[in-house]
Chains A and B, each alone.
Chain A
Amino acid sequence: MSPTKLNLKDKYKLLTRDLDWEFSYEDRQEAFPYEEFEGIKITDWDKWEDPFRLTMDAYWKYQAEKEKKLYAIYDAFSQNNGHTNVTDARYVNAIKLFLTGVSPGEHAAHLGFAFTGRQMGGIGARVAAQMQSIDELRHIQTQIHAMSHYNKFFDGFDEFNHMHDRVWYLSVPKSFFEDARTAGPFEFMVAIGFSFEYVLTNLLFVPFMSGAAYNGDMATVTFGFSAQSDEARHMTLGLEIIKFLLEQHEDNVPIVQKWLDKWLWRGYRLLTLVAMMMDYMLPQKFMSWQEAWELYFEDAGGALFKDLERYGIKMPDYTETIKQEKEHLSHQAWWTFYQYTHAAAFHTWTPSSDEMDWLSEKYPNTFDKYYRPRWELAAEMEAKGERFYTTGLPQLCQTCQIPMMFTEVDDPSQVAYRESVYNDERFHFCSDPCKSIFDNEPEKYVHAWLPVHQILQGNCGGGGLDKVIEYYHLDNGAANLEFEGSPDAERWKQWKGVA
C-alpha cells in the first residue's frame, strides 16, 4: 500500500503538539524539575500560541537551501579578494570585535535555548526554543565562515575561542550569557528571548550589519541577510513568551518586571561595545549611537512598553539614566580601549580631525566639552613618541565586569562609584542598577571570575603583562596596540599601493 500524504494541518499537528505525551507512570514534576523554582505559575500550557508555524522537516529543508546560497557568496567573496574592497583596514577591527565578542554569545544562546527547549513544560514552547537553539548554532558557524577569509589577511581573529574564556573585556559578554544560562528557564527566556532578542536586537545586530554594508564588507552583510528570517522568528518567540507569562497568572507580573529591569540594564551595558563600534570604529559611519538608541529604544521600545502597560508592566526606572548616558557612552568606551589596547585583540586609534568634527556634530552637548580634549592630549603624547597606554589594571564592576569608567549622570567629570558590603566583604559597581542587581542576588555574583583579580592572583599566566598576553594567545605586537604602524596597516598600504 502506498503511503498517504498528510495534509499540512495534520502534519503540523503531528510534528509539533503531538510530539508530547501524557505521563502515566512518571511524575511530571520530576520530568521538568526547573519549572517551578522561579515562582512562575503556569496554569495551562495549551494557551501557548505558536509564534510561527514551522515543522522540523521544513526547517531543515529551508535552512539547507539558504545556506547553500550563503556559502556560494562566501566563496565568491573569497575568490575575488573581497577583503581589499572594504573602506579601510581600520574597519576590520569592528568585525574582530564581532567575532570575539558577539559570536561566542551565539553559541551561549544555542546552549541556553537547548536548555529551555528541554525544560519548559509546554511542547509548543519547547519546539520553538529548540529551533532557536539550532539557529544560534548555525549563526556562530556561519559567522566564523564569513570571517575566516579575513583571518587569512588580518591579525586578531584566529584565537577568538581561546580568548573568550580569558580576555578581560570578553568576560563582559561571557558573564552576561552565563548569568542568563544559570537562571531558570523562564528567566532565560525573558533575558535572552525577550529583552535581548526582541527589545535590544536592533541595537546589536542592525548596527553591525549596517556597518558592514556601509563599509563594503559583503561577507558579513550577506550573513546578516541570511540570518534575517531567523531573527524575525526569534522576535516573535520573545514576544510570545512575555505575553504568555503575563497572561497565565497575575503573580507572574512582579517577577517578570524584576527580570525586565535586570536584563534590559544588563543588555544595555553589553551594548557599550556596539556604541563605540558605531561612533569610532567604522570608517564610514551610518548613524550615531545616540540616534540608534533614540530610534530603536526610546521610540520603538517606548511603544512596546506602552503596549505592555495593560498587564501592569512598566518601563524600568533607570531609562532616564540611559537617556543621559547616551551622549557619553561611546566616547568613554573607546577611550578605555584606546588606553588598554595593548591587552586587546584589535587595534585602536585617535579619531581623525574629520571624524572629530562628525562627533562634534552628532554630540553637540558633550564631545567638544568633555571628549575632544582627551583626544588632543592623546595626539600630543603620540607626537612626542609616547603613545598613551595606561599602566596597571582597571577596577571592574562586580556585576557587568566592565571597567568602572562610567561617570555620574549629573557630573560627566566624575567617575561613578557604588559599593555594597556583603558578609563583611566589599563589592564595587559602576552604577545603581548594577548594584541593585547584585543586592538582589549577591550569592550569584560574589564568585564572579573578574579578569583583573584573577591576573593579580597569578591565575592568568602568572608574572607580568607579557605573561598575561601569552596566556591570552594574543599575538603581541601584531594583534594588539595602535593601528598606525601595525602589520594590518602596513599590509593594507601594500595592497593599495600606498607608500
Chain B
Amino acid sequence: MTVQALRNDYHGDFKDSVDKFGGAQLVYIGWDKHQLFCSSRAFPLLPTMTFQELLDNVMPEAFSQHPEFGRVVWERAEWILDNQSFQPDHSKTLAELGIGHKSVLRLVTPNLTGYKGADV
C-alpha cells in the first residue's frame, strides 16, 4: 500500500516534476568534504547547458566563497553523479551526460582537504 488513507484511490500529484520549472530541470550540486557549505544546493539548469558552461557559470556562483575554490583543477576533478562515479565530457550537455531532473552532482577534490585540513 502506498498510503494509509480513508480512500484506496488516494493520490498526490508530484509537486516538483520537471514540467513545473519553466523548461529547466533541478540539479543539486555539492562539494564533498567542504562543509563551509552546509548542504548541496538546488539549481534550476537547462538540460541543453554543456558541462563546460556549468563549470564556467554555475560552479563559481555556488562555491567561489570558499578559500580553496581558486585551487580546484577542473581537468583533474572527480565527480559523483547520483551515487555513481562519473567522468563527464565537458563539451556534452547535461541531457547527453545523463544529468537529469533532481540529479545529485558531487565534486570531489581529494588533494584539497578544506580549511585547516578539517574538511571545512
Instruction: Give the interface size bracket for A toward B.
Output: 35 or more
Q: Say yes or no: is A428 at the interface (Cβ < 8 Å to chain B).
A: yes
Q: Does A447 contact B12, Cβ atoms closer than 8 Å?
A: yes
Interface centre among A339, A393, A443 (most CB of B within 10 A): A443
- In the assembly, what is the distance between CA of A425 and CA of B119, in Å? 32
- In the assembly, what is the distance between CA of A392 and CA of B116, in Å? 25
- In the assembly, what is the distance between CA of A414 and CA of B120, in Å? 10
Q: Does A392 contact B62, Cβ atoms closer than 8 Å?
A: yes
Distance to closest chain A CB from B93 (angstroms) = 19
Q: Say yes or no: is A349 at the interface (Cβ < 8 Å to chain B).
A: no
Q: Does A393 contact B41, Cβ atoms closer than 8 Å?
A: yes
> Which B residue's beta carbon lies closest to that of A381?
B65
Contact of B65 among A336, A388, A447 (CB under 8 A): A388
Distance to closest chain B CB from A85 (angstroms) = 35
Q: In the complex where A37-B5, A413-B33, A447-B12 touch, is A426 in contact with B103 (Cβ < 8 A)?
A: yes
Contact of B118 among A184, A370, A442 (CB under 8 A): A370
Q: Does B118 contact A443, Cβ atoms closer than 8 Å?
A: no
- Chain B 6-33 interface 0/1 with A at a Cβ cutoff of 8 Å (1 = within): 1000111111110011100010101011
Interface of A: prevailing SS: mixed
Q: Which residues of the partner chain A approach B33 to less than 8 Å between Cβ atoms?
A: 413-414
Q: In the complex where A339-B38, A443-B11, A447-B13 touch, is A391 in contact with B65 (Cβ < 8 A)?
A: yes
Instruction: Give the interface size bracket for B toward A.
Output: 35 or more
> Which A residue's beta carbon lies closest to that of B66?
A377
Contact of B119 among A38, A339, A413, A445 (CB under 8 A): A413
Q: Does B38 contact A447, Cβ atoms closer than 8 Å?
A: no
Contact of B14 among A373, A374, A446 (CB under 8 A): A446
Q: Which residues of the partner chain B approach A41 to less than 8 Å between Cβ atoms?
A: none
> Which A residue's beta carbon lies closest to that of B64?
A391
Instruction: Determine, out of A86-94, A201-209, A300-308, A453-461, the stretch whose residues face the partner at the interface.
Output: A453-461
Q: Does B35 contact A374, Cβ atoms closer than 8 Å?
A: yes
Q: Which residues of the partner chain A approach B116 to less than 8 Å between Cβ atoms?
A: 373, 376-377
> Which A residue's beta carbon lies closest to that of B115?
A377
Q: Which residues of the partner chain B approach A184 to less than 8 Å between Cβ atoms?
A: 4, 6
Q: Which residues of the partner chain A approach B32 to less than 8 Å between Cβ atoms?
A: 414-415
Q: Does B40 contact A404, Cβ atoms closer than 8 Å?
A: yes
Q: In the complex where A392-B42, A395-B41, A428-B104 touch, is A413 in contact with B35 (Cβ < 8 A)?
A: yes
Q: Does B39 contact A415, Cβ atoms closer than 8 Å?
A: yes
Distance to closest chain B CB from A290 (angstroms) = 20
Distance to closest chain B CB from A258 (angstroms) = 10
Interface centre among A369, A381, A457 (most CB of B within 10 A): A457
Q: Which residues of the partner chain A approach B61 to less than 8 Å between Cβ atoms?
A: 391-392
Distance to closest chain A CB from B18 (angstroms) = 9
Q: Does B30 contact A443, Cβ atoms closer than 8 Å?
A: no
Contact of B38 among A335, A441, A446 (CB under 8 A): A335
Q: Which residues of the partner chain B approach A340 to less than 8 Å between Cβ atoms?
A: 38
A406-461 CB contacts (< 8 Å) to partner B? 413-415, 417, 419, 423, 425-428, 441-450, 452-453, 456-458
Q: Which 4 A-B pairs have the closest CB atoms?
A: A447-B12, A443-B3, A413-B119, A392-B41
